[in-house]
C-alpha cells in the first residue's frame, strides 16, 4: 500500500462523511501530490484504493472534466447518488453536478491537510 493511496483513502472517507464528490486534481492536491497528466496518478491510486479498501466509495473521485465512461461502473454509482448525466461524447458522459455536491475544502471547516 502506498502513502498516496492511503492519503486518498482518507480523503474518500472524508467525502463520504460529507456526502460529496471531488475532482481528481483537488483530491491529489489535498493528499500532497499532483494528479498527473489526464489524472493518471489519481487513477493509479484509485486502483490501489479499490483493491485495498473495497468498502470505500471510490466513485466519489471524479475526473477534472466531470465525465465518466458511458459504460463504466462509476456512472451507476453517481446516478444512484442523484447526479444527472448529459450527452455522450466519445464514450463518456458529462456529469451535471450542483455546487453543493462538490467538495470545496476552502469553505469546509475541516483541516486543510490530511497527511500532516
pLDDT per residue as tens, the chain (116 positions): 689 999 999 999 999 999 999 999 999 999 999 999 999 999 999 999 999 999 999 999 999 999 999 999 999 999 999 999 999 999 999 999 999 999 999 865 444 445 44
Q: What is the CATH number of the domain that holds 75?
A: 1.10.10.10
Residue 23 domain flag: yes
Residue 95 domain flag: yes
Q: Classify the C-alpha dihedral 98-85-79-38 as positive or negative.
A: negative
Residue 113 domain flag: no
The count of domains in the chain is: 1
- Prediction pTM value: 0.88
Q: Which domain holds residue 57?
A: 3-101
Residue 115 domain flag: no
For cell 461502473, the residue is: 73
Measure CA 101 to chain center.
12
Residue 107 domain flag: no
Amino acid at each position: 500500500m502506498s502513502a498516496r493511496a492511503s492519503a486518498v483513502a482518507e480523503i474518500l472517507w472524508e467525502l463520504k462523511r460529507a456526502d460529496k464528490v471531488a475532482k481528481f486534481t483537488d483530491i491529489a492536491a489535498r493528499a500532497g501530490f499532483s494528479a498527473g497528466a489526464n489524472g493518471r496518478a489519481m487513477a493509479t491510486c484509485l486502483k490501489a484504493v479499490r483493491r485495498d479498501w473495497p468498502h470505500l466509495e471510490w466513485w466519489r473521485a471524479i475526473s477534472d472534466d466531470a465525465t465518466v465512461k458511458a459504460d463504466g461502473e462509476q456512472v451507476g454509482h453517481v446516478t444512484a447518488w442523484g447526479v444527472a448525466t448529459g450527452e455522450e461524447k466519445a464514450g463518456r458522459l458529462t456529469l451535471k453536478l450542483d455546487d453543493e455536491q462538490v467538495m470545496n475544502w476552502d469553505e469546509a471547516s475541516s483541516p486543510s491537510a490530511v497527511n500532516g
